[in-house]
Every structure is written in structure tokens, then in C-alpha cells.
Structure 1
Amino acid sequence: MTLSSAYDDVADDYDEWVGAGAVLDDPTFAELVGDVAGQKVAVVACGQGREARYLATQGADVTGLDASGNLLAIARQHEETDPLGIVYHHGDAHTLDGLADESFDGAVCHMALMDIPDLAAALGSVARILRPHGWFVLSITHPCFKTPATGEIVDHVDQSVRRTVGRYFAEGYWDGPGKHRNPLPVGAYHRTLSTYVNTLTAAGLTIDRMAEPSLDTPVWREVPCLLYLRAHCTT
């Protein structure tokens, strides 16, 4: 099987952008994941390994999977430099081939589901690899406030900044915000919030918690930039 990814062409730039060899520092993600010591955890669309390294430092037995061979090569280089016992697979998030049924206590997908074309296939595969009542934590750009048509306006009275959104119901591929941060990628797949919730439910994943953290910027103090969910497998 030959796999390729838009991230193959920008792997080095992406690694530098997120922090070469860095461990993910995301309090909201950490809170939703919780105590993973001794658990077997899959990282779907693991990229250059930031989330995998975080989970491994917390005592998890971690397997990462990504479609980008170039990002995986970088992740493996970081693993050689600072061994944490992480195993990386070159694979498709739609199928998670190579990951056995009911073989993981938990799974994560950090800032990647909006890059994956077939949401139902990806979530169905996540449910397949989870053990009964296994957990899943995901984070995405907020589907309500990062739509295919967005902008910012400045109040002429108090100079406060407000977010404008449009084309919320226009689901499908669009050149997302990263497209304009040359040379970093890439477009994204916009979906409504209800599509995310209903597709999780159809896959047998029940939502336990949601988080919408405020960020310390003029716009993102007013509305959330990111959406986090924790779910569990209902079987």
C-alpha cells in the first residue's frame, strides 16, 4: 500500500513550527485524557509525535499512526534521540490497518480530524480498536467559529475585536487557515457541530465531556477557537 499526505511536502517546516522533538503542552488535552499510566493508547494522525511523547511521559504504552511517511521519519528520529518506547506505524486513519480490534484502552486524535476526508470511516475505525468502554479524546478547530468564511471586525467605539462567521452549513473541503501560513499546509474539511456529534454516536462513541477553552488573544477570549471532546465506546 502506498500512502501519501499533504504534510509530506512540509514535514520539516511543520516539525519546526510545532516544536522539534517537543512534548505536547496542552492543559485541556491533559485534563480530558487523565491518568493513562499503564494503559495502551493509540495516537491517530500522530504527525511528528508531540501527543505520543506526552502520553508516553505519563506512563502509557503508546502506538502512533500517520499517513505521512516524512512526518513519521521525524517522529522516529525524535524517538531515537529520546527513547520513550513509542511504536510508530505508517497507516491510514480511515482504516487503522495494522491495529487490532479491541486492542487499546484509549485513543486520541489531536487537531487532525478536520484534515481527514471520511469522518465516519475514521471514527468507526477508532471504535473498532478500542476495548469495551475504552475512551477517545479528540480536539479540532471549532466548527462554529472557524468556518469556510470567517473574519474579524474592530468595534469603532471601544476597539474590541469580534469574530464573524459565514458558510457554516457549507460542509466539505476548503483552504483552511493553515493554507495561508506558507509554507505550512493545508486545507481542511469543514463539518457542522451536529455532524461531529452524530457521527460519533453512529460509530458507537458516546460523548462524556466537552471543553472550549478561552485563549489569551483579543478574538479568542470572546469565542472558542478549539473544541475538545472525550467519549467512550458504548460496547
Structure 2
Amino acid sequence: MSVESRYDEVAAEYDEWVGGGSPLADPVFAELVGRVDGQEVCSVACGQGREARYLASQGATVTGVDLSENFITLARRHEEAEPLGISYQQGDAHTLEGLADESFDGVVCFMALMDIPDLDAALRSIARILRPGGWFVFAITHPCFKTPATGDFVDHTNKSVRRVVGRYFAEGYWDGPGLHRNALPVGAYHRTLSTYVNTLSSAGFVVDQLREPPLDHPPVWQEVPQLLHARCHLA
């Protein structure tokens, strides 16, 4: 089954799960993005448009791109219900075909890089559409703590929660991320942290900041990070 068809099948349920037409509410993402008023920003693998709506609400001119036709349909439906001037188009993150070279001040990719099969192709396409010195902000499941073999256990000596990590070097597609909620999400591509950093560098990016915010729930994510946020710029 293709990536496109997998997400088409779960688009409606995913939209309901994350809050329908609400904009993205992630303070770490917002801080890394910073002020975007007057900027042209592309949301790559935009899904139903949560981060696109946040960016537009902050004054950016936003273009959203996603491979899933059903996600784009939902994003356009939310735009019609509450117009923010966002343009959406169906497209592949590997090529970003139809988007001109050096046409954006910034790019975001929220919780999607780990879902894209060819990381190198996607990052090079993102670099292509950015203007010189342009910025790139992304968030992914933490590659060190969300691996193909993970689990939680309670230390019964003090009832503290621990995260067990295995198969860290086993890069490739796995179905594990979806086990906690039916088909959501629909699997991911595990890569080591060094693969992410080295591929960013090869595409011409310099990492400016990394963030590993603790989460309140479940308790284990207060001990180890579930997500990795990053802000980069073109060298």
C-alpha cells in the first residue's frame, strides 16, 4: 500500500483525533518558528492544515502541500469554513513539483519527516524552494526513544517509569507507532539521530536549535522526550 493511500484511508479519523479545524497548538513549535508576519512559508506534508492555519494566523502567506488527496480536501474545507488565505495543493514532499526554486522564506514540516520514505530527497526539495538563508522548522517523534523495539516498565522499588529502547540501529519502515490507537498514525520510518543530522547537513542545512520538551502524559514522557523539535537554516 502506498503512503498516499494509507493516509487517505485514515484522514477523516486523524482530523477528528487532532481537533478538526483547530490550528496547531504547540508552544515549542511556535517559539522556534518565531515571527512570520509578511513572510512566505510552505507547510510540507501539511495534512489537514493545522500548522498552516497557525502560520496564517500569525500573518504569513502560506502554501500547504500534502500527498494525500483526502487530507488536502479536508484542509480546503477548513479554509472555506474560516478563510485565512491559505493555498493548498496535492504534491509529493520528495519533489515538491510545481513549487519554484527559492520561492519561500521558511518551511515547516510538523510530525511528518519520519513518515516520508526518502529523507534525503525531501530535504533537498525543501532546500530548493527556500530562499538563500531561509529557515526550516520541523518536529518528529524522537528517534532515540521511539524505536522499532520500545516499551515502558515500572521500577517497583520507587514506582518510577522507565523507557526500554531497542533496535535503534534498525533503520527502515515499521508499524509500531500505530499500535496505541488503531490505524493512527499509520507507521513510520525509523532513522538514527545521526542520519537526520547528517542528511540535513548534506542538503545544505545548519542546525540552529534542538528542543526535547517533556510532556505531561503519559508519565514516561516526563522522564525521556517523546518529540524532537529543530530549527535550521540554509548555509
TM-score w.r.t. length of structure 1: 0.97
Residue 20 of structure 1 corresponds to which residue in structure 2? 20
Unaligned stretches of 5+ in structure 2? none
**More moved, 209-218 vs 173-182:** 173-182
CA deviation string 1:6-47 (max 9, x = no partner): 110011101000111011000000000000000000000000
Alpha-carbon RMSD across the aligned residues, in angstroms, is 1.2
The answer (yes or no) to whether the contact 1:149–1:166 under 8 Å persists in 2 is yes
The answer (yes or no) to whether the contact 1:41–1:107 under 8 Å persists in 2 is yes
Unaligned stretches of 5+ in structure 1? none
1:226 maps to a residue whose letter is L
1:50 maps to a residue whose letter is R
Residue 182 of structure 2 corresponds to which residue in structure 1? 182
The answer (yes or no) to whether the contact 1:3–1:92 under 8 Å persists in 2 is no
3-state SS in 2 of match to 1:220: helix
Q: What number of residue pairs does the alignment pair up?
A: 233
3-state SS in 2 of match to 1:223: coil
3-state SS in 1 of match to 2:195: helix
Residue 35 of structure 2 corresponds to which residue in structure 1? 35
Residue 114 of structure 2 corresponds to which residue in structure 1? 114
Residue 97 of structure 1 corresponds to which residue in structure 2? 97
Residue 210 of structure 2 corresponds to which residue in structure 1? 210
Residue 227 of structure 2 corresponds to which residue in structure 1? 226
C-alpha separation between the residues in 2 aligned to 1:127 and 1:9? 30
Q: CA deviation at 1:5?
A: 3.5
Percent identical: 72
C-alpha separation between the residues in 2 aligned to 1:179 and 1:8? 18
1:5–1:206 CA distance, 2 compared to 1 (3 A): farther
The answer (yes or no) to whether the contact 1:49–1:64 under 8 Å persists in 2 is yes
Runs of 4+ in structure 1 over 2 Å off: 2-5
The answer (yes or no) to whether the contact 1:35–1:58 under 8 Å persists in 2 is yes
3-state SS in 2 of match to 1:85: coil
TM-score w.r.t. length of structure 2: 0.97
Q: CA deviation at 1:54?
A: 0.1
The answer (yes or no) to whether the contact 1:115–1:189 under 8 Å persists in 2 is yes
